[in-house]
Amino acid sequence: MQKNEYLEAKCIDYSHDGQGIVKVDGFPVFVKNMLIDEVGKIKIIKVLKNYAIGRLIEVYQQSPYRVEPRCPLFKQCGGCHLQHLSMAGQQNFKTKRVKDTLQRIGHCHVEVLPCLMMEKPWYYRNKVQVPVGLHGNTIVTGFYKQHSNDIVPMEICYIQNNESNRLVNRVRNLLQEAQENPYDKMSHQGNIRHILVKYGLTSQQLMLVLITYQDSIKNINTIVKTLKNEFPDLKTIIQNINKKHDNVILGDKVKVIDGPGYIEDELLGNIYRISVKSFYQVNPKQVEHLYQKAIEFADLKPTDEVIDAY
């Protein structure tokens, strides 16, 4: 097998991240966007000692689980991997992954029930953090291409909630107007590294975090005043300062610019206070289903003692 070689092959399995796996004389080739049982034309783009990487050129025999991705940036963006797979196909993939993990790693041979799927799996995430970059003289926000530091410019993400999409776009435009500069990883020049938004699904409260390299932000008072006028649910605006030269998003220094420095949200009747660094499940609707299912299976009695051992 050589680089740039073309071959016809059938997909027989998925990798842990949803890439198709084909085997050529027993040698595995990982092919992005290829589905199980599909037969297609593949171009070999990299050959390593134990496996190769292929690019899907054409599908000759299509899987019944293949669907048209909703997002036009699906092939470029590194955010979502399975939009070309139907909900039934994704359920099979996720259920099998849990089963394989339990059996191969945990050596637990137990019944694995079908994955609980979300009825409408769009606009659900309550947290978005996007890198900020420069295309020419224009500030862009989006997600990185897979295995790259190149930002795919994005106006709307179909798995983020609408308010967060709208807030990110407005902040980006205000930074452009303020002539603020994105941080450059290579030269360590510029300032704005990421825009982080958290959203309470029940409370509808918004938190904005500007992650910067420098200690100050140009025209920040004007930016804050504009955002508070346009987004009445924006409860707090925070600056997080990260002077490190690595890929960790949040730095140690947190400066509350406006509001209390946190938002609140309700989950299963409990009120949670969410700060910049709080962990909170990103899919609140599904996590309620998950917790309710755990409570149901636990079948707790008033006399039971419960240990949170996570």
The boundaries of every CATH 2.40.50.140 domain in the chain are: 6-61
Residue 147 has pLDDT above 90, yes or no: no
Taking residue 264's Cβ as centre, other Cβ atoms within 10 Å add up to: 14
Which residues of the chain does CATH 2.40.50.1070 include? 127-288
Q: What is the fold of 6-61?
A: OB fold (Dihydrolipoamide Acetyltransferase, E2P) (2.40.50)
Helix axes 220-230, 162-177, angle to 10 degrees: 150
List pLDDT tens digits, range 169-224. 999 999 999 999 999 988 999 999 999 999 999 999 999 999 999 999 999 999 99
The per-residue pLDDT for range 89-110, each reduced to its tens digit, is 999 999 999 999 999 999 999 9
Class of domain 127-288: mainly beta
Where residue 188 falls (left for φ over 0; alpha for ψ -120 to 50; beta otherwise) is left
- Whether this prediction's pTM lies above 0.85 is answered by yes
